[in-house]
Copies of this chain bind each other. A is one copy, B any other.
């Protein structure tokens, strides 16, 4: 077996071991890959991982075979580059790097410019024509080598450099001249000799073997051992060593350096894109000290720039680069981000990797490459990050516009909007009706603010997390939202607002960027989204490849239309309580709550029935032909109670009941932990007349819409917060009874299902029993996360951020499902539910239904559908397709 593999030059890649990273390490295998497809990679060689282990077991000694093989490989490099290692006239310089199977902190990193000594430095200076460059390279080499190979204290060298600059009155390294560096080299060598007891090695072969030994030994360093233990990496893997010829782009006017993309990373267009600099090193392009030049003539002319493009200035190297672009895309089948250097007219590739791109470019490239036949549809689908689609569906801020940033909150709902500050929902509605754009600013929002959130262009809250009420509702409505902006402080009585140290009045204009969480003063221009043809094409492909259905969480006809436009295949969660907050109804709702007995409740419910029926009819018309899951009333009743004195007084008049009585009733309804209180099906059990009214409204509306013709909807009546089979049994019987009554009255029978949310740990554990009463389960992973983790979403702000910072949770568990914990409950409930009722329909309607990682988990446990807020429907479609493709692999 070979101990060393060559790459570059005329190397032969026929031995499959060379591209096997268990043999040549990650870096070595990659270099062989690039060189193997004909890229001009600086030549070099890789010593195998096996050799490192044999070196260590042999008691840190090189085998004769290795010494011979390295000598042969060095000759290969010399041949390929046309220089000799240690040549006093024109020396070959090399880099030495470690390269384990995976990238690993604790390993020796890099030694550059190896091969320099007191003699070869002069050759380099003469040959490059840059004396300063040569001496700077030499002092860098001594510094690096002393640090990583000789393990001397690097502080000593840094100190010497600082003193040298001080002595000369310099502030930066750039001011150091050739002879300054030369003098410093002398001092460095003295330091080495003092510290080490012997001089800095002048023999280039001794330098090389020293570096190789250092890489080998670093496998057994303490840091490497700790890292291996923490990451379960076996000590038996060993590390490879890569020795590679140095190339320099700063060797005069025939040298250059640059970065390039094989396609335009911001638009996705198929044009070469990049920047370069003549006579420069890689850092110069990035550092921005010199203005980089365009790569192509067309680009230069389009920009009206004077400095020549690479196409014009170095036509041969450019031609070679163009050939490389083609090679790369054909080989890697993706847009590549590359670094290159031209050394004295010769192109060298230093790195290639898949390039980062904007959402728009990702979409276009995926579709284009599939059309070009470069990739198949499946790959195109996997190529686009579903979350990136969010950018495409909302207006964004003009990236060129100026921003007067006041502060930052959480990027709670994407999109951008400007408008006048309003401090309450009623004002928001009022001003919006006057055709003014408004931004609703609240400490936090509550269900009572819904009409104001609808009226506003954007929502800003001082408190609450990514899954606070404001965030969830805003995402559902597609409104941009910045939440938890702690810099915001509201003085409601003065109708003013502080953001950081700036004061605003109600009516002043601000701008929100929901994608970054930034809050800006004044109006910042926005760009409307372009849903180009590529979007539709990719969505079609995704739909062909996904197994799970995608529904939406929606309760207004507007939201339903939006979601259907985005491809929703039904409603997975229609929250009926939002309908109760409507200004025209809240007094009937309050009358119901405050009624002293059942008959009083029934009278109030009788007033609500036609309203609810109207709501459902409108939704059923919009969703015609699709299933609609309607959840019966869920929140605790006190959420509907008035809180302000005016509201109590209004209610007192309309009900002819004293304010004191009302306040006492409201206080009686108060709960310490409403999340765990008298809500969900507990309302249905204790006040069955409420669920009866809702069931009647659903079935009457379904009959009404069916009577109008068109495909009937299939109502799926969902009972919330079930923990026991008996609860569901009682309420399923209630719904069935009402359905039968309505069907008899209407002379029409419709299909419908009764099922339940699985949103309590007990429900998940008892799913086998509960499934005896259920035609479907919908996982309410918001509440399931709250209860399983014992974390109130509304209160988590104070500790969830530090928790994620400390790695206690990898991500906010309300954003991405806690698969380890909550996931166990979902999986177990799915299994037990199916064991009892094999055809039970399983879906998810928590916020996680729009999160790609959570969707992948849903695919894994075999759910039938996910349900997401309208603007997340396309994300869910794509994520579901990706999950299906990945699980098929």
- Chain A positions near chain B (C-beta within 8 angstroms): 671-678, 680, 682, 685-686, 721, 723-724, 726-727, 730, 759-762, 765-766, 783, 786-792, 794-796, 798-799, 802-803, 806-809, 818, 820-822, 824-825
- CB atoms of A676 and B723 under 8 A apart: no
In the complex, A686→B806 CA distance in Å? Answer: 10
CB-CB under 8 A from A685, the residues of chain B are 799, 802-803, 806, 808
In the complex, A550→B199 CA distance in Å? Answer: 74
The residue that A678 contacts in the complex, of B762, B798, B824, B825, with Cβ under 8 A, is: B798
CB-CB under 8 A from A672, the residues of chain B are 674-675, 792, 794-795
With known contacts A786-B676, A795-B671, A795-B672, A802–B765 Cβ distance under 8 A = no
CB-based nearest B residue for A730: B806
- CB atoms of A762 and B673 under 8 A apart: no
- CB atoms of B821 and A790 under 8 A apart: no
- CB atoms of A807 and B726 under 8 A apart: yes
- CB atoms of A806 and B723 under 8 A apart: no
- CB atoms of A678 and B799 under 8 A apart: yes
The residue that A783 contacts in the complex, of B680, B790, B792, with Cβ under 8 A, is: B790
- CB atoms of B765 and A686 under 8 A apart: no
- CB atoms of B674 and A675 under 8 A apart: no
In the complex, A787→B765 CA distance in Å? Answer: 13
A675, A766, A802: which has the most chain B beta carbons within 10 Å? A675
CB-based nearest B residue for A683: B799
Question: Can you name 15 extra interface pairs (CB under 8 A) apart from A672-B792, A765-B825?
Answer: A672-B795, A673-B674, A675-B676, A675-B792, A676-B790, A678-B798, A682-B803, A685-B806, A723-B789, A724-B808, A724-B821, A760-B788, A761-B790, A765-B788, A765-B821
With known contacts A795-B671, A820-B766, A788–B808 Cβ distance under 8 A = no
CB-CB under 8 A from A682, the residues of chain B are 799, 803
Measured CB to CB, the closest approach of chain B to A823, in angstroms, equals 9
- CB atoms of B806 and A789 under 8 A apart: no
CB-based nearest B residue for A636: B795
In the complex, A543→B38 CA distance in Å? Answer: 84
CB-CB under 8 A from A806, the residues of chain B are 685, 726, 730
In the complex, A686→B798 CA distance in Å? Answer: 9
Measured CB to CB, the closest approach of chain B to A538, in angstroms, equals 37
- CB atoms of B808 and A726 under 8 A apart: yes
In the complex, A752→B762 CA distance in Å? Answer: 35
- CB atoms of A762 and B821 under 8 A apart: yes
In the complex, A788→B763 CA distance in Å? Answer: 8
Measured CB to CB, the closest approach of chain B to A682, in angstroms, equals 5
List 6 A-B pairs, minimum CB-CB distance, nearest first: A676-B792, A673-B792, A761-B761, A762-B821, A677-B795, A760-B790
- CB atoms of B726 and A795 under 8 A apart: no
In the complex, A759→B677 CA distance in Å? Answer: 19
In the complex, A672→B730 CA distance in Å? Answer: 30
